[in-house]
Amino acid sequence: MSHAVSRLRAARLARSARPFVARGSRAVRCPGCRLIPSHCLCAFTPRVPAVSGVCLVMHDVEALKPSNTGWLIADVVADTSAFGWLRTVVDPELPALLADPQWQPYLVFPGEYVAPERVVSEVKVDSGKRPLFVLLDATWSEARKMFRKSPYLDGLPVLSLQPEQLSRYRLRRSKRDDHLCTAEVAALCLELAGDQRAADALNLYLDVFSQHYLASKAPRAVDINDDLHQQLREFL
């Protein structure tokens, strides 16, 4: 199923002057889940109704990486938009989305990097507007640069998360355990907005994706009847 991240990936590939070479990129991959066919995840893709939306602002090559978890968010949350980030060029649809009166955008970023008056820790769910979580999908160093050099984000309230759990993401490990991957951040945001079922589905989907991805690199088989897969089946 085509969604915002897959379309962004296709557009990025179309304008590439040379092929993007990621670790394991020579492998033939399923276009739906980016895993090798023997470990395809498409039969386990959940689609759960959510009041919230997600806006992914993705660093230049992020959508091309097989381990990217923004793709998982777009699989689960129907109202997911994705925009490539460049310092000098802004897709006009991005500021238009942020100004759409149906949405209340929240830029999700650590509050220590902004003035205190911009920081919020709760999501308003009774304001007549739907929450729109703006996530900078990049490495931490890239995300900080994107944050500083994106003036169209300056007027947004900054949702500063204080997650109690450590990151469970095992594919591209940050040097700090309190740095969550993009899908984990999105799940926390969905939970704050009252979209608990969507948050649960996304967390399970991330765990199953990580299991399939790591098993495909070994390679080893995946038990699709284990407890994790059985839990995810409840969201299909």
Other Cβ atoms within 10 Å of 158 Cβ, number: 22
Are the CB atoms for 12 and 84 separated by under 8 Å? yes
Question: What is the mean predicted confidence (pLDDT) over 157-175?
Answer: 74
State the pLDDT at residue 55: 98
State the pLDDT at residue 189: 96
Which residue reads 């926390």 in tokens? 188
Question: Is the pLDDT at 160 greater than 70, yes or no?
Answer: yes
State the pLDDT at residue 193: 97
Are the CB atoms for 75 and 46 separated by under 8 Å? yes
Q: Is residue 217 part of a domain?
A: no
pLDDT tens for residues 7-63? 999 998 888 766 555 555 567 899 999 999 999 999 999 989 999 999 999 999 999
Question: Is the pLDDT at 151 greater than 90, yes or no?
Answer: yes
Q: Is residue 119 part of a domain?
A: yes
- Average per-residue pLDDT for the chain: 91
Tokens standing for 224?
Answer: 């699709």
Instruction: Look up residue 51 and give its DSSP letter.
Output: S
As a whole number of angstroms, the distance between CA 25 and CA 131 comes to 36
Distances (CA, A) of 100 to 21, 49, 128, 152: 37, 20, 13, 14
Q: Is residue 63 part of a domain?
A: yes
Higher pLDDT, 160 or 20: 160
Are the CB atoms for 181 and 129 separated by under 8 Å? no
Q: Is residue 203 part of a domain?
A: no
Q: Is residue 117 part of a domain?
A: yes
Q: Is residue 72 part of a domain?
A: yes
User: CA torsion sign, 56 to 210 to 202 to 47?
Assistant: positive
State the pLDDT at residue 32: 93
State the pLDDT at residue 21: 55
As a whole number of angstroms, the distance between CA 6 and CA 12 comes to 10
State the pLDDT at residue 1: 57
Closest CA to 159 of 219, 98, 209, 111: 111
Domain limits for position 57 = 4-14+49-196
Q: Is residue 113 part of a domain?
A: yes
What pTM does this model have? 0.92
Q: Is residue 156 part of a domain?
A: yes
pLDDT tens for residues 126-150? 889 999 999 999 999 999 999 999 9
Q: Edge-to-edge, what's the strand order for the sheet holding 130-137?
A: 80-84, 53-58, 130-137, 103-108, 158-159, 119-120
Task: Give how many domains the chain has, as a whole number.
Answer: 1
- Which residues, 6 or more positions from 162, have their beta carbon under 8 angstroms from its beta carbon? 121
Tokens standing for 122?
Answer: 């709760």
Distances (CA, A) of 231 to 32, 153, 165, 171, 225: 21, 37, 20, 21, 10
Question: Is the pLDDT at 167 greater than 90, yes or no?
Answer: no
Question: Is the pLDDT at 170 greater than 80, yes or no?
Answer: no
pLDDT tens for residues 69-120? 999 999 999 999 999 999 999 999 999 999 999 999 999 999 999 999 999 9
- In one-letter notation, the amino acid at residue 72 is L
Higher pLDDT, 168 or 175: 168
